[in-house]
Amino acid sequence: MGYEPALASSGPARRVSNTIRLMVVDDSIIARTVYSRIIENERDLELVAVAGTAEQALGMLATVKVDVILLDLEMPGMGGFEALPRMIEIAQGAQVLVVSSLTRDGAHHTVRALALGAAETMPKPPPGTFDRDYRAGLVAKIRGLGRTARWGQRPPLLAGRPPPVLRRGSDKQARVLAIGASTGGIPALDRLFARLPERLGVPILVTQHLPASFMAVLARQLEAVSGRPALLAQAGLELAPDQIVIASGDAHLTVVERAGRYLVRLDRNPVPSGCCPSLDPMFASLAEVFGPHSLGVVLSGMGRDGTAGAKDIVEAGGTILVQDEASCAVWGMPGAVATAGLASAIMPPEQLAGRIVAGTGGRAQWN
């Protein structure tokens, strides 16, 4: 199955400006045909290349400019997992949307794909079940990722504006670290934790936008890369130094103080961002409980979740750090915080690790 030019369009004959350019990589001719018809019926989407193997796709990417790649994982030869990081490197800014039955069969495959750099995943439905809702969801994801890819050279958050002004961070030693992320966040978390020392001496809270069924896999992955215990948040769990607590996928992770003990509280109230779990309640609770001793980090992610909570931390005297645009898969969340003037540093994850060590004292005292 070699290169296939785009099929004859059955949709609008004329494309709009700023068309999102797509590549489909799937060994199933049925899937390729269905994706082609979905894409070509949208005026703002254009299918520019189709491949039946990862090897063929990598060859095409050297000469074809694309914004979004739809990638299957189960293919003959190289396969999607092996090809994914190479595609990201060659495509230079393209976003990869993994569409595979493997993501339906288990959380492990989804988290692995995200850790390798996929911007988003969604399950491939069984043959013959590409219904209207599925098609609408697929197109929505493509559009979101396509806009991100096209913003790479000139992000709308910064277009026509001066660089974000950095704030002076708190002069108080942090007693808690809270990290939030969404799209592109898993590889950023891996890079950050890989550079942190074995001992920080403070509890670490993590909110990553993922469904609840994926969180146990994420916990195991963070344990492996960080060398620390990683637990899923449960009501009443007491925070402990150098222990990672991860927000469950169906509740916000917040903290309360009870008689000198710092305990997890699960919050399921809706938030303006619509995210669950959300960074905003997590940050807000730290601002209330720890005040100027709060340290928050916002990594790659789509949207604005975390901006309101970051403002709470800053107003309480704490510090907010964000991932820089060049190292992000999506600079939505950290970009929103930065352009709001709430960040004390804008850096790649490896450099943020150094700022975290400085902010906590490396082995900050918990008691």
Active centre residues (catalytic): 182, 209, 305
C-alpha to C-alpha distance for 314 and 320, rounded to whole angstroms = 7
C-alpha to C-alpha distance for 365 and 367, rounded to whole angstroms = 6
C-alpha to C-alpha distance for 209 and 204, rounded to whole angstroms = 17
User: Tell me, what amino acid is at 134?
Assistant: Y
E strands, the chain, in order = 20-25, 45-51, 68-71, 95-100, 120-123, 176-181, 204-208, 230-232, 244-246, 252-258, 261-267, 294-298, 319-323, 345-347
User: What is the distance between the terminal CA atoms of the chain, rounded to a whole angstrom?
Assistant: 63
What is the residue whose two structure tokens read 């989407």? 45
E strands, 111-171, in order = 120-123
Tell me phi and psi for residue 32, to 5 degrees.
-60, -40
C-alpha to C-alpha distance for 153 and 167, rounded to whole angstroms = 25
Neighbours of 317 (CB within 10 A): 16
C-alpha to C-alpha distance for 107 and 2, rounded to whole angstroms = 31
- Token output for 106: 């288990």
| 8 Å CB contact between 314 and 327 | no
Element (DSSP H or E) covering residue 351: helix 349-360
| 8 Å CB contact between 94 and 69 | yes
Bridge partners, 23 (sequence order): 49, 69
| 8 Å CB contact between 201 and 366 | yes
DSSP state of 331: B
Q: What sign has the CA pseudo-torsion 265, 270, 272, 274?
A: positive
